[in-house]
Chain A
Amino acid sequence: MTDTIDVTTAPVDRPLRVDLAPRQMLWRRFRRHKAGMVALIVMTVLVLFAVFGPLLWQVDYALTDFNAIGESPSADHPLGTDSLGRDILIRLMIGGRVSLSVALISQILAIAFGTLLGLIAGYTNKHADTWIMRVIDVIMAIPDLLLLILLIPVLSGALESSWTPAWAVTLNDISLGTFGLVVGIFLITWTFVARLVRGQVLTLREMEFVESAVNIGVPRPLIMYRHLLPNLSTILVVAATLGVPRGVLLEAGISFLGLGVSPPLPSWGTMISDGLSVMRSEPHILLAPAIVLSITVLCLNLLGDAIRDAVDPRSST
């Protein structure tokens, strides 16, 4: 068999120095992943583009110009204009802010809440476990997009009703009306984190260091915080690397269907759906957001691969 490695002649990897701090080891392992490094650089550029771009390219993203409808790229509009005469470059930047922040914030919430419920399910009593797992089963039985389609109108309806707390309305105003979107994506993605965490906790609780902590009388909440939580870091990093691209795709998808951000605020998803109707005559309106969105998700996935390899070399997928 040609694929077996001959131990005597195979090049030996330079052994990792043992005195390296764990963080340096991670960085070393990450750096070996060439595609991951490229993705890191591209992703950094994309984030800078979205965060600082609008400071350099100061154009109103909602300004419609009926003398410049569907224009091809020019000096005035480097990426042309859309079917309402709005500048595509600035809309890509703002859309990037929307997409990335919605994905990031909803995933931070999902990880926090999913960890909490995963810990409760895996390390308190059996009833809590059963109930939490049943709820997760039901949520996971419905495809995520469908559930989001059902949740978003309820959430935006709730934001308009009188019993909504003032802080939620304020948050919704600050986030330019994306609060419901963030909460919706969070509500359907925490289950994945909770399941991962619970599985890990079930393994950890049988381990000797946890048992000895129990035996010397450490209270449960403290065991969760001191002994279980730190050992979940790897699995939470894995969850984040899978969750963020999923969040970006869900946000773009639901906005594509017209249930996400409300116009004139751009999202890459709404920009793609805007471009759909005029793709025969002005394909650039469709292609610009489509390409940026694809590159973003591609980079997030490659980055995720590299990070997963670095934190958990055994699970190289």
Chain B
Amino acid sequence: MRGYVTRRVLALPLIVIAVYTLVFFLARSSPGGPWDPNLPVPQSVIENLRAHYHADEPLIVQYWELAKNIVLEGDLGPSYLAMRRNVSTMIAEALPISLALGAASVGLALIVGVALGVIAAMRRNTSVDYASMGLVMFGISVPPYVITPVLVLVFAIWLPWLPSQGWTGLFSKAAIIPVIALALGPAATVARYARNSVLDVIRLDYVRTAEAKGLPPRVVITRHVLRNALIPIITVAGLYITRTLTHTFYVEYIYGIPGMGRLGVDAVFGRDYPVILGVSLVVAILVAVTNLLVDLTYAWADPRVRLR
């Protein structure tokens, strides 16, 4: 187990380096930006710009210098669009918002998803089950760039209950639509896994024993069934946390939330490659760390898992 943890933690920087390399060269080979010789400005301006972004140096030097700055000083360099702003500062402002939004959504998704999955499994092959699974299919199929505008249309424009955009903190009315929009997909995925895994556990002998000794159904569910049924839900956690991360791109953009997603989309529209690089790097690190944590939690929650 300890060897496994060490190896996985040591692999983390390797993944980050690989992602950095890939993203760096992809961003540099895209058209546009200060190293584009076709910019419609005087030659001297281009030279200044190129010096400002160190684009006058050989590619490999840029690659190495940027990596050094990121590691030593957490400095991602200046943005193209907001030329005086550092990408690291922009990310430092945006990241907490997205993390709050993401955590709230994943939390909500887990609660709703597990509840829905357990209810569907308990009432298997009844209308309750079919209705829940219909809802789940809906949640899996409807993308965030459809559900967010539809929620805004219904609950902010037709029924003037909620704000139609903006961000005023997680504990305000403005957070309701984005959190629900982000939670829908993961909730559906969790519900699906929860239903299947409860159905798998429920026919095991020890559950029958628990029922036979007269425990109330509520206790059997919470103490005996859920404990084991939740393990598969942990194993797929990486999947829906990653998906939530990418979905913030759409939801934050549509709802006007100044988080990482919005930053990323604006950078894409403006071809602001330093920001794209910074956002990609942060997201890739988040994904890699999440996957590691998921695997470790899995091993901790299920002693039968032997990690070598």
Residue ranges of A at the interface with B (Cβ–Cβ < 8 Å): 1, 3-4, 35, 134, 137-138, 141-146, 149-151, 153-154, 156-157, 160, 245, 249, 252-253, 256-259, 269, 272-273, 275-276, 279-280, 283, 286-287, 290, 293-294, 297-298, 300-302, 317
Contacts and interface: CB of A to CB of B under 8 A. Distances in A.
Interface stretch (B40-48, B108-116, B149-157, B174-182): B149-157
Interface string B166-209: 00000000000000000000000000100010000011000110
B153 A142 contact: no
Contacts of A272: 145-146, 149
A156 B30 CA distance: 9
Contacts of B143: 249, 252-253, 293-294, 297
Contacts of A287: 150, 153
Given A138-B15, A150-B280, A143 B140 contact: no
Interface of B: 15, 18-19, 22-23, 26-27, 29-32, 124, 137-138, 140-143, 145-146, 149-150, 152-153, 157, 192, 196, 202-203, 207-208, 211, 242-243, 245-246, 249-250, 253-254, 264-265, 268-269, 271, 276, 279-280, 283-284, 287-288
28 contacts: A1-B207, A1-B211, A3-B202, A3-B203, A134-B18, A138-B18, A141-B18, A142-B19, A143-B287, A145-B249, A146-B246, A146-B264, A146-B283, A149-B276, A150-B276, A153-B30, A153-B31, A154-B29, A157-B31, A160-B31, A252-B145, A257-B250, A276-B254, A283-B153, A286-B153, A294-B141, A298-B138, A317-B192
Given A138-B15, A146-B246, A146-B264, A269 B22 contact: no
Nearest to A157: B31
B152 to A, nearest CB: 7
Nearest to A289: B146
A142 to B, nearest CB: 5
Given A1-B208, A149-B264, A279-B152, A294 B280 contact: no
A143, A294, A302 — most chain B CB neighbours (10 Å)? A143
A141 B269 contact: no
A145 B249 CA distance: 9
Interface of B is mostly: helix
Contact of B146 (A1, A143, A290): A290
Contacts of B157: 279-280, 283
A137 B29 CA distance: 22
A239 to B, nearest CB: 16
Contacts of B138: 298
Contact of B140 (A144, A293, A301): A301
- In the A-B complex, the 9 residue pairs with the smallest Cβ-Cβ separation, listed nearest first, are A153-B30, A298-B141, A157-B31, A145-B246, A297-B141, A143-B246, A150-B26, A138-B18, A290-B146
Contacts of B253: 257
B250 A253 contact: yes
A279 B208 CA distance: 55
A157 B30 contact: yes
Nearest to A258: B269
Nearest to B164: A280
Contacts of A141: 15, 18-19, 284, 287-288
A145, A157, A287, A298 — most chain B CB neighbours (10 Å)? A145
A14 to B, nearest CB: 19
B30 A154 contact: yes
Given A1-B208, A142-B280, A153-B271, A297 B142 contact: yes
A4 B205 CA distance: 12
Given A253-B143, A273-B145, A286-B153, 8 more contacts: A141-B19, A146-B283, A154-B26, A154-B30, A160-B31, A245-B141, A294-B146, A317-B196
